[in-house]
Amino acid sequence: MNITLLVQFLALLEEMKTREEILPEFERLLDRCGFDFYGVVRQPKPNENPLRLLLAGRWPDGWPQIYIRKKYVVIDPTIRYLGHAQRGFRWRDTLAAFRSDPHRKRMESMMVEARNHGLFDGYIFPVHGRRGLMGNLTVGGRVVDLSPVELSLFDAIAKRLFWKLLELTDPEIMAELISRVEVQMTRREMEALNYLADGMTSNDIGKVLDISSHTVDWYMNGIQEKLKAKNRHHVVAIAFRLGLIS
């Protein structure tokens, strides 16, 4: 039954034009699937308040304040696991990936406190864009077992819902994210950039391209200037965000 509901919502989402239309229908879908709480969030940096990046959500009373006050975003295993995930995953499966992590005990304490607030388990679905991880949809509360097909459908809903809410909430940011890349690179610059992203030095790149390391440095300086980067590490970071390398 959930599969039919999820497919119907995906179709309905294409037709709805406002937050006032979308959110009640989405919350009704979650209620019918057994989820009590949810959040649609832009990807936060460690020092940012995730609530300021919240596009929509419904959480247990007091939990967002506790999460922020105790800076759980820094150690939250679901958020840390999210950076490596390509598709949706279950909250409770993430702790196994951090068995030897120095923050393991604090992670476990966070999970216990979450359960005390009614967040027993859930799922989180990453949303990627040209600049990498852009945000996520998380759903949870009671224990719900989703089938592989249901997980795939929630993945699709997460992506469409995120971009639609972002466009409605902050069209300026949306326009910036989907704007066309204006950086023009030569073939040689693109070759050097890709080798740089693989960790090669100027000497390494010069040997592969059969040019001198000084010529490689010339290309690198040009790339750095075009991307307005501070150094070579910054060059790689910007190039990934712009989708110039992958």
pLDDT (tens digit per residue) in 139-161: 999 999 999 999 999 999 999 99
Of 107, 192, 84, 90, nearest to 151 by C-alpha is 90
pLDDT at 53: 84
What is the pLDDT at residue 147? Answer: 95
- Write the single-letter amino acid at 211: I
- Residue 98's nearest CA partner among 78, 71, 126, 112 is 78
Residue 149 tokens, joined: 């097909």
pLDDT-flagged residues of the chain (< 50):
none
Given this model, what pLDDT does residue 175 score?
61
C-alpha–C-alpha distance, residues 191 and 45, integer Å: 31
Query: Model's pTM, two decimal places?
Result: 0.73
